[in-house]
Structure 1
Amino acid sequence: MKFAPFLLAGLAVAFAPPAQSSAQQSKPAAKTELTGGPRLEFPVACKIGESCEVQNYVDRDPGPGAQDYRCGTNTYQAHGGVDIRIRDMAAQKAGVDVLAAAPGRVSRLRDGVEDASVKVRGTSAVDGQECGNGIVVDHGQGWETQYCHLAKGSLKVKTGDQVAAGTPIARIGLSGNTEYPHLHLTVRRNGETIDPSSPEPGCGPTRSGQGLWSPKAARAVAYKSGAVLNAGFTAEAVSMAAIEAGALPKPTTATALIAYVRAINLHGGDIQELALKGPDGSVLVSSAQPALDRAKAQSFVMAGKKARAGGWAKGRYVATYVVRRGGKPVISKTFETTL
């Protein structure tokens, strides 16, 4: 995107979800009432709302459509697990541990699949290896958990190992059929995919309970109807690829000053607003996007300006991002930088 003389307007972009792996498509989510099963802990060494978010839940729609367990759009066709997404590739390269969700025995694993976006490698390159590097843990009585898209060479266990809940077993990678670094966790009983957030049949916006999750894990994966994945300031216009790569150039008093936000799981009709204020509280730039034409798995906006003559005044610069749905704010984030 080119700079206007002084104003950089916002931009919204979305991506289509990738096709699913054979492991993820094995069988639809259970439609019968279940009792028992392992109590699952949160399977990633990250903090929801700070360093990671839930991108997708299990698809509960048995037909060609897609619905998550709350009858929402935080899923896609035939998705058979829970996707826990970290912020960007910089975080992935720094290393984020995948943790065993429950005690059990490692029954199967695979390593050696390259960490590269399927957009680069192509789907044919991961045919039969859609899970990428993965681990399956057997919890007994027909229950198992599968961990996909692990980093090549990061597996810390071998077949036959006993693991306790919370044991680091690998790191999040970019292997298999994925466009961004995340853990895909599938839960099965006797080969049938189970939605850990709500094993009961059907879906509903007011469903209660914690499913198979422990109380702490249930709080971590609590349903969000949209969330901010990335927010910050940079010295140049950004793209979705640049945000995904991470490590954007920091602004100084002599560079452009641009605020950016990447949000996930927005709804059709949502309106995104981003405003930037200077140290004196005056609005430097404000941008409101057109209403989204459909639900978006991810979207980004940015707003900023080139450096003023003589440079930016030293002090605190504050950006505020708001998503309005039906005229009401449903997501908001304020962040700042000091020049």
Structure 2
Amino acid sequence: MVSRYCLRLAKALVLLVLPTVAPAEEAPRFVLPVACELGRDCFIQNYVDADPTSSSRDHQCGTLSYDGHNGTDFRLPTMAAQRAGVEVLAAAAGKVLRRREGVADESVRGNGGASVKGVECGNAVLIEHADGWQTQYCHMARGSLRVEVGDQVEAGQPIGRIGLSGLTEYPHLHFIVRHRGEIADPFAFEASPNACGGGRKLWEPALLPLLEYRPRSVLNAGFAAASVSMAALEAGDTEQKPGIGAPALVAYVRGIGLKAGDLQTLVLTGPAGQELAKHEAQKLERNQAQSLVFAGVRKPAAGWDRGTYRARYRVLRDGNVVLERDFDIDLK
């Protein structure tokens, strides 16, 4: 019979010769890097480009990316929202490795990309985290940075504000994640090549419902007293609601992420439910990052009927509604 001492000795010898297995590295769990409500105050315009060729696709094999895009774009709906101030937050605890300040908040739509050569990221912060992880925050507002190189930051700590600095045409945060120097998609980390919806999400679990993938979104919707331009909408000049004396009533919608083949309709109705105006756009011939439609009517000779005016916006694809927004205004 083998003694208990011999059994214990044998087990100890086995443990000595077994290879040591290093524990797997824990991927970080990021908090939202912007202090806004997704789908209402801010929107995801673009994701990391998951296509290694000259084409592009997002992690769901959708159109919300472009060739070589290496981060996630959290967009504000207007420059008025940017001027009001939306904080950029550290996505995880870490140490500030680098920062840049002093780049002007100017859209490159007029000046072109050459005007920001070498400072494409604009006012920016780079944070180092444990186990080879880094996060980078681009296009922040000039004069808004609240951290210095060497600072230790906590998850959710404000580090600046969303701006329009660097290579950008609209106010947004370009959020980049790297692991050991390689770009990592926080929506699809370690996804298999050509996978649609694969990989691991690196966000705090409570955020996942808010971060649900939306192939199309309504960026702006409202009413104006005159025709609406993309420039006025971007500036936030349409945010003042028309009153009972308005010379016209115009419903407008700006959609983002629209696809080739989408059909947009916008119908304006009066207090009695009567149709006042309708706009039915041509089917889109190509994917569009953003699209503006509006429908309006001039003030009747007898003036506006008092009551609630309603607008219904729909995007149809193959006869099915894929995006819808109802909104109204009271004229008293």
TM-score by length of 2: 0.89
The code of the aligned residue for 1:287 comes to H
Runs of 4+ in 1 over 6 A off after TM superposition: none
Structure 2 CA distance for partners of 1:35 and 1:221, relative to 1, 3 Å: farther
Asked if residue 130 in structure 1 is aligned to residue 120 in structure 2, the reply is: yes
221-230 or 146-155: bigger deviation: 221-230
Q: How many residues align?
A: 305
**CA deviations over 1:289-338 (Å, ceiling 9, x no partner):** 11100111000100001111122111111100000012100100000111
Q: 3-state SS of the aligned residue for 1:125?
A: helix
Instruction: For 1:231 and 1:209, locate their aligned partners in 2 and report how far apart those are by CA, in whole Å.
Output: 34
Shift of 1:201: 2.2
Larger Rg: 2
Retained in 2: the 8 A contact 1:276–1:285?
A: yes
Instruction: For 1:143 and 1:210, locate their aligned partners in 2 and report how far apart those are by CA, in whole Å.
Output: 15
More helix by share: 2
Q: 3-state SS of the aligned residue for 2:80?
A: helix
Instruction: For 1:321 and 1:261, locate their aligned partners in 2 and report how far apart those are by CA, in whole Å.
Output: 7
Retained in 2: the 8 A contact 1:237–1:258?
A: yes
**CA deviations over 1:256-296 (Å, ceiling 9, x no partner):** 10000000001100000100111111111111111100111
Match of 1:202 among 176, 185, 193: 193
The structure whose RCO (Cα within 8 Å, separation 6+) is larger is 1
Summarize the alignment of residues 167-178 of structure 1 with structure 2, pairs less than 5 Å apart. 167-178=157-168
Shift of 1:244: 0.3
Which residues of structure 1 form unaligned runs of 5+?
1-33
Q: 3-state SS of the aligned residue for 1:244?
A: helix
Retained in 1: the 8 A contact 2:89–2:160?
A: yes
Match of 2:71 among 71, 78, 81: 81
Structure 2 CA distance for partners of 1:251 and 1:332, relative to 1, 3 Å: same
Q: 3-state SS of the aligned residue for 1:219?
A: coil
Which residue in 1 is equivalent to 2:31? 41
Instruction: For 1:165 and 1:196, locate their aligned partners in 2 and report how far apart those are by CA, in whole Å.
Output: 16
Q: 3-state SS of the aligned residue for 1:141?
A: helix
Summarize the alignment of residues 1-339 of structure 1 with structure 2, pairs less than 5 Å apart. 36-199=26-189, 200-205=191-196, 207=197, 211-248=201-238, 249-254=240-245, 255-339=247-331
**CA deviations over 1:37-81 (Å, ceiling 9, x no partner):** 211111111111111110000001001000100111000010000
> Identity, % of aligned pairs?
50
Q: 3-state SS of the aligned residue for 1:69?
A: coil
Which residue in 1 is equivalent to 2:17? none
Q: 3-state SS of the aligned residue for 2:209?
A: helix
Retained in 2: the 8 A contact 1:70–1:203?
A: no
The code of the aligned residue for 2:151 comes to D
